[in-house]
Amino acid sequence: MKLLRKLQSFLHKAKRDAEMAEEMRLHVELQAESNIKAGMEPAEARYAALRQFGNVAVIQERAREQRGFVWLDQFAQDLKYGARLLLKHPGFTAAAVTVLALGIGANAAVFNLVHSLLFAPPTYARPAEVLRVLSQDRMNPRQVRDFSYPAYREIRADHALFSDTLASALLVVGVGGKDETRGTPAAVVSANFFSVLGVAPAQGRAFLPEEEVPGSTSPVVIVSHNFWRKRHFDPGLLGSPVLINGRSFTVIGIMPEGFTGTTALFYTQLWLPLGVYDQVTGHEGRSALADRAGTALMLLGRLKPGLTAAATSSGLRVLEASLERQFPAEQKDRQLALAPLSRFASNENDAAVAWVGVLLLGMAAIVLLVACLNLANMLLARGTARRKEIALRLALGGGRGRIVRQLLTEGLLLALLGGTGGLLLALWLSALLTASMGRMIPLDLVWTAEPQPALLAATFGFAVLGTVGFALAPALRLSRADALMHLKDQAGEDVAPRRWKYLPRQPLVSAQIALSLALLTAAALFMRSAVQAGASTMDTGLEAGGVYLVEVDAGLGGYNQSQAQAIYRRLNERFAALPGVESASPAIDVPLGGMDFERKVFRMAGPDTGNSTASAKWNGVGEDYFKAAGLPLLRGRSFTAAEVADAGSPPVVIINDLLAKQLWPAGDAIGQRLQLSGAEAGPTLAKGAGEAMEVVGIVPAVRHNLFESQPSPCFYLPFVRGFASHVFFHVRFSSRTPDSEAANIDLLRRVVHEVDPALPVLALKSFRQHLDGNIQIWTVRTGAMLFAVFGGLALCLAVVGIYGVVAYSVARRTREIGIRMALGARPVAVQRMILGEGAVMVGSGLMAGLLLALVIGKVVSSLLYRVGALDPVAFTLAPLVLALAAFFACWLPARAATKVDPMVALRTG
């Protein structure tokens, strides 16, 4: 009832205002009449009545305040007034909105990235209860591995710790028909996978226990909602066949929308039962799944209700002991450990990446802070010009609270405009980043550039935060009621003591310069780091000019191992026979490819001075690999064609000089023999481990990984012995070939198509492109780019801020400058005075900034690539650039000051 009345009075505002005016007019008339009756002259009576009544406008305003929803009314007024003001000063508005949009946009984009990368919760139920079980080397706890299926059965049977345990192996499978095969992320999982995660298929059913057992080759698949969407939500998908690695699987279930499986960053698209593991991994003929030495299965246990991760250690020791009894060989010297599931599907700790995210957020926050400082400055400067307006309003009876509210509303209006701009900017930046990352890894990322509720909320939050940040302090300062002084004040005249005019603004600018310098230095450090990383891809140790990479995987096309080897042999012959091609060879690994194979090797014989065992990277290669990859043999010979093609030929190995030095530090490695250890992850060797192999050649070391400071020990096996269906053909074109990269790539693609049109080609590029496209260099470069953008933004904002303050001070002191010049000051002296004042402001900011930069340098030093925390280049360049820009920003208004004509200045002042 009351609300209704309030609403009515709010809605009939105009009528009520008219009535109120009429009512008060009557009041004054009646008062005047009563004054006449008391004996006054009519004119005087009316005047007295008006005086008695008081300030009509104020009374009306206060009466209006009694009405319903008055705050809404006033807010609308403020909004209208604010919008009019903004339209009246388009230059100021554009500058302010741009500054804000940059600040908010940078924050929203980083928030979007960090949120989906680090903080978006996993898509399974009660994630805190789910822990990963790992097998740790007792001697070297950093060396961890996963489990075999038999070991998994053993661990699952134990219910002391976990209510249930699932097993899963992530892999890439080829999905599609004969003409087009797409590599798709999939997981081969135990039957209880979905029940342990607590998410049931939205349609269809989960896997049955019998579909999990080794040897059961039940061809069934559960697909993700994303997969279904890519099939345009085909209502007939359930029950229909899908071609996976050349075999037909029946879709028995579709997962609910948003479910990504155990991966947090990208969508696992398909789930297959463990029973088909051997089929989809190309282990025909023998069961890799049933192998007790296997390490392919990641185990996730759901803790029993009420059990905390800390309280598990005794149970873990019991489980460990029983596992060691069951698997005396495989679990020798190993212990069990629990770890939270990595968001990045890696064995590493997520903390480092989380750290980068926090750092990025911090940097973005500094940009917003700088933007706010800048805007506060602009508002203050403009507010000083508006002093008269505000003083007038205060004098006419406007309340201070109302004026602060009005100024805040104007700020909010700016922030909303800036926020809208920022949102667009954030979406654009996100689209840019996801596109760039999408080129890098062909996965369906959870991180998207679509506006999500979290992003919208964050943007709005940043806008409101910004309003408080930049509008509140100026509003409070400007509305202070030293009103009369400003009414008398002449426009643009600087009459108050100078100390008070400039001091309050200067700290803002100095703070801004300090923050900008810190950001700029961080940006310089990261850019140096990117340049270093870029340069270091150049010296992998390979002579890579003219080399092209053809990445294929016959396994994804459904070919078995012997078929694949036959195709690869034909393909390599065709490549080698191409005009302009010097040599060609398959290899199962490529330096800086983001993945390495590693294995333990043992020395068989020889003088007993070196290590008897070493851990080494390895590669399976063809006979011309060293020619094609540009790796000159230091000693000995390469493989022969027979050794590469025939698994029955005597076992030989080629090692790099580092491994040679480690195993045979004194003697000659050629002719010595070494042996490989058994159970390790990675491609299986055609002949079992433990076979003694003769070293026939030594090659220089190559860097496999951007982040390893030194090349590592490495050995090479003939292709047939170290085989994987995922192969990189290295094709070296003669440097005399005039054709362009694109033409060569086209030529190679045609050859692949002629040999087998159904062979899935995963990538075709020059080695140069491969190095540039390396995920590690991408990370370093993208990081550097983000920081550079932040640093650049901060620099621009700082320059704008300095220029604004100095130019404004010159404008207000036109008269003073005029007088100085009239009294004989030379333009140079005036210029020096203005510059000197600027230098104090900039200098103090730079000092503070340098200290801040030292701190930031220490903080980010662990993320830098071959750049010290106190890198002299970065610490010289950043202050220099900022100082130069600041000098320029001071110099422009200082020069304008010398152009002041004393006569004009004095007359107009």
Partner 1 sequence: MANNKADLLQGTLDLLILKSLQLEPMHGFGIAVRIGQMSQDMLTVEQGSLYPALYRLEEQGWIKAEWGVSDNNRKAKFYALTASGRKQLTAEEQSWAKLSTAINFVLNGT
H-type alpha helices, 490-543: 498-502, 506-538
Q: Shortest distance, CB of residue 78 to partner 1, whole angstroms?
A: 21
Contacts of residue 504, defined as CB under 8 A and 6 or more positions apart, other chains included, come to: 380, 477
Residues 464, 419: Cα–Cα separation, whole Å: 9
Nearer to partner 1, 67 or 145 (CB): 67
Binding segment toward partner 1, per CB under 8 A, in 30-38, 500-508, 527-535, 835-843: 30-38
Pairing of strands 181-189, 270-273: parallel
CB-CB neighbours of 420 under 10 Å: 16
**Is residue 92 within the footprint of partner 1 (CB under 8 A)?**
no
Of 64 and 247, the one with the shorter C-beta distance to partner 1 is 64
What's the closest the beta carbon of residue 62 comes to partner 1, in angstroms?
A: 5
Q: Indicate the residue among 28 and 881 with the shorter CB distance to partner 1.
A: 28
Cβ proximity of 584 and 730 under 8 Å = yes
Q: Of 22 and 539, which CB lies nearer to partner 1 in the complex structure?
A: 22
According to CB under 8 A, which one of 7, 21, 30, 485 is a site residue for partner 1?
A: 30
Least CB distance from residue 487 to partner 1, whole Å?
17
Q: Is 8 in the site for partner 1 (CB under 8 A)?
A: no
Angle at 280 between CA 278 and CA 286, to 5 degrees: 20
Question: What is the three-class DSSP state of 190?
Answer: coil
Using the rule CB under 8 A, is 65 a contact of partner 1?
Answer: yes
Residues in contact with partner 1, shown as a per-residue x/- string from 682 to 701 under the rule CB under 8 A? --------------------
Binding segment for partner 1 (CB under 8 A), chosen from 25-33, 314-322, 606-614, 774-782, is: 25-33
Between 400 and 866, name the residue whose CB sits nearer to partner 1: 400
Terminal-to-terminal C-alpha distance of the chain: 61
What are the structure tokens assigned to 339, written together?
Answer: 């770890």
Helix, strand and coil in the chain, % to nearest 5? 55, 15, 30
Sequence-separated (6 or more) residues with CB below 8 Å from residue 161: 301, 303, 304, 307, 312, 315, 316, 319
Cβ-based burial of 246 (10 A; exposed 0-12, middle 13-18, buried ≥19): buried
CB of 395 to partner 1, least distance (A): 11
Which part of the chain contacts partner 1 (CB under 8 A), choosing from 64-72, 519-527, 601-609, 825-833?
Answer: 64-72
Segment interacting with partner 1 (CB under 8 A) among 49-57, 583-591, 654-662, 842-850: 49-57
**If binding is defined by CB under 8 A, does position 59 make contact with partner 1?**
yes
Q: Does 13 bind partner 1 (CB under 8 A)?
A: no
Rounded Cα–Cα distance for residues 239 and 278 (Å): 23
Contact with partner 1 (CB under 8 A) among 12, 15, 62, 286: 62
Show contacts with partner 1 in window 140-199 (CB under 8 A).
Answer: none
Binding partner 1 (rule: CB under 8 A), the pick from 258, 397, 678, 690 is: 397
What is the Cα–Cα distance from 336 to 316, expressed in whole angstroms?
Answer: 7
Site stretch for partner 1 (CB under 8 A), options 47-55, 88-96, 240-248, 294-302: 47-55
Span of 14-22, 387-395, 496-504, 590-598 interacting with partner 1 by CB under 8 A: 14-22
Q: In terms of CB distance, is 21 or 743 closer to partner 1?
A: 21
Binding piece for partner 1, criterion CB under 8 A, among 61-69, 256-264, 415-423, 854-862:
61-69
Q: Which of 66, 140, 346, 709 binds partner 1 (CB under 8 A)?
A: 66
Residues in contact with partner 1, counted by CB under 8 A, come to a total of 32
- Told to check if 19 binds partner 1 by CB under 8 A, we report yes
Instruction: Report if residue 22 touches partner 1, rule: CB under 8 A.
Output: yes
* Footprint (CB under 8 A) of partner 1, residues 308-367: none
- Residue in 7, 57, 58, 851 binding partner 1, rule: CB under 8 A: 58
DSSP class of residue 144?
E
Give the CA distances from residue 174 to residues 244, 280, 321, 438, in Å, rounded to whole numbers and listed in that order: 6, 9, 40, 18
DSSP 194-225: HHHHT---SEE----GGGTSTT----EEEE-H
Question: Taking contact as CB under 8 A, which single stretch among the options 18-26, 492-500, 533-541, 766-774 is the one that binds partner 1?
Answer: 18-26
Q: To the nearest whole angstrom, how small is the minimum distance from the Cβ of residue 800 to partner 1?
A: 42
How far is CA 497 from its chain centroid? 50
Considering only 13, 17, 48, 64, the residue that binds partner 1 (CB under 8 A) is 64
CB of 398 vs partner 1, minimal distance in Å: 11
Residues 6+ apart with CB under 8 A from 643: 623, 649, 650, 652, 718, 720
740: Cβ–Cβ under 8 A, 6 or more apart, which residues? none
CA-based nearest residue to 285, from 684, 568, 552: 684
Q: For residues 46 and 56, what is the distance between their CA atoms, to the nearest angstrom?
A: 14
51 counts as binding partner 1 under rule CB under 8 A: no
Q: At 140, list the tokens.
A: 């070297």
Q: Report the C-alpha gap between 509 and 845 in whole angstroms.
A: 8
Lookup: tokens for 243: 């071609």
**Residue 389 C-beta: closest distance to partner 1, Å:** 20
- Minimum distance between the CB of residue 56 and partner 1, rounded to whole angstroms? 9
Distance of CA 612 to the CA centre of its chain: 44
How far is it, in rounded angstroms, from Cα 730 to Cα 551? 9
Find the shortest distance in angstroms from Cβ 57 to partner 1.
Answer: 11
Select the residue interacting with partner 1 from 13, 27, 292, 768 (CB under 8 A): 27
54 part of the interface to partner 1, by CB under 8 A: yes
Joined tokens for residue 507: 């700290």
Of 54 and 688, the one with the shorter C-beta distance to partner 1 is 54
Q: Map the footprint of partner 1 across residues 722-761, applying CB under 8 A.
A: none
| Cα–Cα distance for residue pair 862/852, rounded to 1 Å | 17
Q: Does residue 2 touch partner 1 according to CB under 8 A?
A: yes
How far apart are the C-alpha atoms of 345 and 872, rounded to whole Å?
38
Residue 321 is encoded by which pair of tokens?
A: 């002991």
Of the pair 46, 704, the CB lying nearest partner 1 is at 46
**For residues 484-497, b (16+ Cβ closer than 10 Å) or e, as one string?**
eebeeeeeeebeee
Place of tokens 């010595």: 672
Identity of the residue, 34 or 143, whose beta carbon is nearer to partner 1 in the bound complex: 34
9 scored as a contact of partner 1 (CB under 8 A): yes
Quick check: 18 binds partner 1 (CB under 8 A)?
no
Rounded CA separation 872/893 (Å): 33
Nearest distance, CB of residue 66 and partner 1, angstroms: 4
Residue nearer to partner 1 on the CB measure, 63 or 811 = 63
C-beta closer to partner 1: residue 53 or 92: 53
Confirm or reject binding of residue 38 to partner 1 (CB under 8 A): no
Query: Least separation, in Å, of the C-beta of 45 and partner 1?
Result: 14
Per CB under 8 A, which region of 5-13, 387-395, 400-408, 757-765 contacts partner 1? 5-13
Q: In whole angstroms, how close is the CB of 486 to partner 1 at the nearest point?
A: 20
Among 55, 217, 240, 609, binds partner 1 (CB under 8 A): 55
Given the DSSP bridges, would you call strands 220-223 and 247-254 parallel, antiparallel or unpaired?
parallel
**Does 23 help bind partner 1 (rule: CB under 8 A)?**
yes
What is the spatial distance between Cα 90 and Cα 78, in angstroms, rounded to a whole number?
A: 18
- Check: CB of residue 274 under 8 Å from CB of residue 129: no
The C-alpha atoms of residue 465 and residue 459 are separated, in whole angstroms, by 10
Q: Which residues bind partner 1 (CB under 8 A)?
A: 1-2, 5-6, 9, 19-20, 22-24, 26-27, 29-31, 33-34, 52-55, 58-60, 62-68, 397
